[in-house]
Structure 1
Amino acid sequence: MARTKRQKPADVDTPSSGEQAPNAVWFKPVMFGFLLLGLVWIIVYYISAGTLPIPAIDVWNLAIGFGIAFIGFIMATRWR
C-alpha cells in the first residue's frame, strides 16, 4: 500500500491572494458609534433651538455633528 502525504486543511481565517482580511471586532461598534453620535449631536442642536450642545459656537454645532457622522461614513466605506 502506497503512503500519501497528508495535506493540511485550508486555513479558513487566512485570506487568499485577492481578498482582504476582515475588520477587527471593535471596528463595527466604533463606526456605528460615530454615525449615531453625529446624528444625536445634530438632533440635540435642533431640538434645543441652538442652546445645546455648545451654546457659544452656535451653528458650528452642525459642522461638528456632520464631521463626527462623516468619520463614521468614511469608516463604513472600509467595512468588510
Structure 2
Amino acid sequence: MRTTHEVDAAELPQRVKRLLAEGHRLALVAAHLDEAGPRVVYLFVAGSPDTRTELHVRLDPDRPEVPTLAHLSFP
C-alpha cells in the first residue's frame, strides 16, 4: 500500500515522529524542482504488509528550508 501526503514544513517533525513510532523507517529523501517551486519528498517504509508513505513538503523558493529531523533519529 502506498499513500502520499502534502505536509507543511512546520508539521513535518510531528508527522515523522508518528511514522517512526508506528514502525516506519526513512528510506529516501529526494529534492525536486517543479514549476510550482522546490519540493522535498520523504519516503517511509514498513513491512508486513509492505507499506510506503510519502511526505511531500513544498518549500518557499526564496527560503528553501526544512526543519531538522536529527533529534528524532538520535535522541
Answer 1 or 2: which has greater strand percent.
2
Larger Rg: 1
Q: Is the TM-score greater than 0.5?
A: no
TM-score, with normalisation over the residues of structure 2? 0.29
TM-score, with normalisation over the residues of structure 1? 0.28
